[in-house]
Chains A and B, each alone.
Chain A
């Protein structure tokens, strides 16, 4: 297989398909992020919301099938993640995975989660489960269209008590049981069965009335009144998620505002051929009028023009594909999480400094900030650090090649409690890492430094060693041989990631020795400058070695008994074999590596390497029952 060709091909495909930002509220990382969850929004979704593979180093083609099945109890507001824009950068530099191995995903995405069974009923029959109706296909002509299956999870509240105790209807089932059946139907079916019997019609109406969550896919030829009539059926709607394949403009917003007075969360995603024509004024009006809106997420915001958002209820705001905004003002005193992704086609001229300055002043309780823009610079960082955002926990400033070590110094001196720091695509060097390690060892859980060409493997090693609480480390494409043409496609250059001359040629042939007791996810995709890797992490679950070209097979040692998944697309076959042997080997291969000295009396004195400890043997005992590790390669 011509790796280069696939690589570039995949990159162009990925960029033209423009995968929506992966908004995976990863339930697998939920386990890791329990601590973070308590403090609010999770961050840095590591895995693609579509197919479950790590976002780094893969282009996702699982875009066509939508089977959202919200496990609403986990899709509750506390567990959304900010999109990692390094993923978008990586999709431009997509690795060779032109076919994506879909792993059974335990992720539940806010937008497009995989199928999951509806939650079980709690003890009392009048439950207060979250209710979700998910449309994937508004067209009810089943024979023509492929029906995507959705989940219906209605909520019976006090009003429906009399309904529940009703008599058996013509269908032979008491109303309560009929309700249980109908609520498991996809919305299109729900509409169809309403015509079957009176009782079913009434019941299906009840199911609609009880709906609190609605996920709608609006096909390209859908009319507005279509959506309007659907929204009219569910006046209690609390969360609305629209996947637009047709253009969307302010009339949609008006329709939403009119039909759903209790709406708290609105999410509008756009497919690649849908144009979002909503302007800043219109959006501002919508937000101002909706008094209980807490969460707004919108894609394709290229026509905003200028934006002034005023809302006392808004706490989460994600806007992507922003382009050349004349001004961005956020008068949202309750804003906790903001994610601004700017377009990367090079002609964005938004004044980030003013924006960030304003953010700092008008949103004092911000906890999570994510900005992806090639215009991020040291000046922007200074504007941010000058603000009094004492509650900042997650900071992600990606794609800013003008972010330097000085910026890190400013961040380190202003925000002492960061749990997540993502400076992917920046120019920071090992001394920046040193500063990070000085200030954040007691709080930092996630460190993302993908595509940072001035960082060496010793910097990474130092960081991991000095930050004992780290759970996720992302170093994709960081230690790489930038002389390797194939790694950076034309797409990447167009997107502003110029090939920066690697001033440290000696950074090729580096090694990485990692020993960490808490690390759960490590990504080293595309690190072609590394040729040796020693990993000793008892809690490591995910290891991403996609496109790890130059690793020598005899210089790989993985001693991670909890490893569940290793991603090895684009690696040589021999390497994949070695990985498989190592991770599935029940006995530690270290025995072969222990040097020993035979003494005069015939006994052996074994010299134990510095990274072995008692912990190894305890872990080994636990290892007996662990499931085999998946090595996922193309």
Chain B
């Protein structure tokens, strides 16, 4: 009946919602945990969440992690210290996955996850030169050489 470990009120059965990823996998999540997503919350309020909710933007792999995140953060009695450590663990993944977390959190409107993932990316970017950033994120600069030059001049004052 219930998939979460600890609970305070064992009497009522936990209400579950089914989420369906883009590749057809289904995941169950407790309603309480789902409330962390504003998108899901409004669906629950409007009673649209009784059938599986399709999430075409999110793959099964990512959705599984998102469900794990929401469930963990919906637990009662977790102390802040261990939650922080858990969060740090959660975001020590590769960049594409981190980006996917951001996209998922953005789509599902989960502010805590969005904050966590964006902050990790920001932390990753901090202190890196543009070339390093290019390498990390594996993307090419789209500026023409003239534009690059202009940019450099524009920010010259910052580097003097």
Find out whether the CB atom of B142 lies under 8 angstroms from the CB atom of A181. no
Find out whether the CB atom of B143 lies under 8 angstroms from the CB atom of A172. no
Q: Decide yes or no whether A138 CB sits under 8 A from chain B.
A: yes
Q: Decide yes or no whether B121 CB sits under 8 A from chain A.
A: yes
The 10 closest A-B pairs by CB, nearest first: A184-B122, A120-B111, A180-B118, A196-B130, A181-B118, A121-B111, A181-B121, A195-B130, A140-B158, A177-B102
User: Once bound together, how far apart are the Cα atoms of A195 and B154, in whole Å?
Assistant: 10
B127 to chain A, nearest CB (A): 5
Q: Decide yes or no whether B152 CB sits under 8 A from chain A.
A: yes
Contacts of B158 in A (CB 8 A): 138-140, 188, 191, 226, 229
Given the contacts A121-B114, A123-B38, A170-B139, A181 and B126 also touching, CB distance less than 8 Å: no
A sample of 5 cross-chain residue pairs with beta-carbon separation below 8 angstroms, ordered by A number, consists of A121-B109, A172-B137, A191-B158, A192-B130, A198-B147
Contact with A along B31-67 (1 / 0, CB 8 A): 0000000100000000000000000000000000000
Given the contacts A181-B118, A191-B155, A225-B157, A171 and B139 also touching, CB distance less than 8 Å: yes
Contacts of A189 in B (CB 8 A): 122, 125-127
User: Once bound together, how far apart are the Cα atoms of A186 and B158, in whole Å?
Assistant: 14
- With contacts A117-B115, A140-B159 known, what are 19 further pairs, Cβ within 8 A? A147-B126, A170-B139, A170-B142, A171-B137, A172-B96, A173-B102, A173-B103, A174-B106, A181-B102, A185-B125, A185-B126, A189-B122, A189-B127, A192-B128, A195-B143, A195-B152, A196-B130, A197-B142, A226-B157
Contacts of A117 in B (CB 8 A): 115, 119
Given the contacts A117-B115, A182-B122, A184-B122, A194 and B157 also touching, CB distance less than 8 Å: no
Q: Decide yes or no whether B68 CB sits under 8 A from chain A.
A: no
Q: How many A-B residue pairs have CB under 8 A?
A: 100
Q: Decide yes or no whether B69 CB sits under 8 A from chain A.
A: no
Find out whether the CB atom of B102 lies under 8 angstroms from the CB atom of A180. yes
B138 to chain A, nearest CB (A): 9
Contacts of B118 in A (CB 8 A): 177, 180-181, 184
Chain B's closest residue to A152 (CB) is B122
User: Once bound together, how far apart are the Cα atoms of A605 and B143, in whole Å?
Assistant: 90
User: Once bound together, how far apart are the Cα atoms of A128 and B122, in whole Å?
Assistant: 22
Find out whether the CB atom of B142 lies under 8 angstroms from the CB atom of A120. no
Find out whether the CB atom of A123 lies under 8 angstroms from the CB atom of B109. yes
Question: Which residues from 136 to 158 on chain B have a C-beta closer than 8 Å to any C-beta of chain A?
Answer: 137, 139-143, 147-148, 151-152, 155, 157-158
User: Once bound together, how far apart are the Cα atoms of A149 and B128, in whole Å?
Assistant: 14
Contacts of A177 in B (CB 8 A): 99, 102-103, 106, 118
Chain A's closest residue to B112 (CB) is A120
Contacts of A120 in B (CB 8 A): 111-112, 115
Find out whether the CB atom of A193 lies under 8 angstroms from the CB atom of B103. no
Q: Decide yes or no whether A390 CB sits under 8 A from chain B.
A: no
User: Once bound together, how far apart are the Cα atoms of A396 and B117, in whole Å?
Assistant: 47
B117 to chain A, nearest CB (A): 9
User: Once bound together, how far apart are the Cα atoms of A186 and B128, in whole Å?
Assistant: 13
Find out whether the CB atom of B151 lies under 8 angstroms from the CB atom of A195. yes
Question: Interface size for chain A: under 10, 10 to 19, 20 to 34, or 35 or more residues?
Answer: 35 or more
Find out whether the CB atom of A174 lies under 8 angstroms from the CB atom of B125. no
Find out whether the CB atom of B115 lies under 8 angstroms from the CB atom of A229. no
Contacts of A141 in B (CB 8 A): 159
Chain B's closest residue to A138 (CB) is B158
User: Once bound together, how far apart are the Cα atoms of A317 and B147, in whole Å?
Assistant: 46
Contact with B along A114-127 (1 / 0, CB 8 A): 00011011010100
A residues at B contact (CB < 8 Å): 117-118, 120-121, 123, 125, 138-142, 147, 149, 170-174, 176-177, 180-182, 184-186, 188-189, 191-199, 201, 225-226, 229
Find out whether the CB atom of A180 lies under 8 angstroms from the CB atom of B133. no
User: Once bound together, how far apart are the Cα atoms of A199 and B152, in whole Å?
Assistant: 16
User: Once bound together, how far apart are the Cα atoms of A174 and B106, in whole Å?
Assistant: 10
A200 to chain B, nearest CB (A): 9
Pick the contact of B139: A149, A172, A181, A186 (CB < 8 A). A172
B104 to chain A, nearest CB (A): 10
Q: Decide yes or no whether B15 CB sits under 8 A from chain A.
A: no
User: Once bound together, how far apart are the Cα atoms of A147 and B127, in whole Å?
Assistant: 9
Find out whether the CB atom of A194 lies under 8 angstroms from the CB atom of B125. no
Find out whether the CB atom of A196 lies under 8 angstroms from the CB atom of B102. no
Chain A's closest residue to B147 (CB) is A198
B133 to chain A, nearest CB (A): 5
User: Once bound together, how far apart are the Cα atoms of A201 and B147, in whole Å?
Assistant: 11
Given the contacts A140-B159, A182-B122, A196 and B133 also touching, CB distance less than 8 Å: yes
Find out whether the CB atom of A184 lies under 8 angstroms from the CB atom of B137. no
Find out whether the CB atom of A194 lies under 8 angstroms from the CB atom of B115. no
Find out whether the CB atom of A196 lies under 8 angstroms from the CB atom of B134. yes
User: Once bound together, how far apart are the Cα atoms of A197 and B142, in whole Å?
Assistant: 6
B95 to chain A, nearest CB (A): 9
Contacts of B139 in A (CB 8 A): 170-172, 197
A185 to chain B, nearest CB (A): 5
Find out whether the CB atom of B157 lies under 8 angstroms from the CB atom of A229. yes
Find out whether the CB atom of B125 lies under 8 angstroms from the CB atom of A181. yes
Contacts of B130 in A (CB 8 A): 192-193, 195-196
Pick the contact of B140: A170, A174, A226 (CB < 8 A). A170
User: Once bound together, how far apart are the Cα atoms of A575 and B15, in whole Å?
Assistant: 56
Contacts of A172 in B (CB 8 A): 96, 99, 137, 139
Q: Decide yes or no whether B129 CB sits under 8 A from chain A.
A: yes
A184 to chain B, nearest CB (A): 4
Which has the most chain B C-beta neighbours within 10 Å: A117, A138, A195?
Answer: A195
A186 to chain B, nearest CB (A): 7
Given the contacts A125-B109, A142-B127, A184-B122, A194 and B151 also touching, CB distance less than 8 Å: yes
Contacts of A138 in B (CB 8 A): 158
Find out whether the CB atom of A197 lies under 8 angstroms from the CB atom of B143. yes
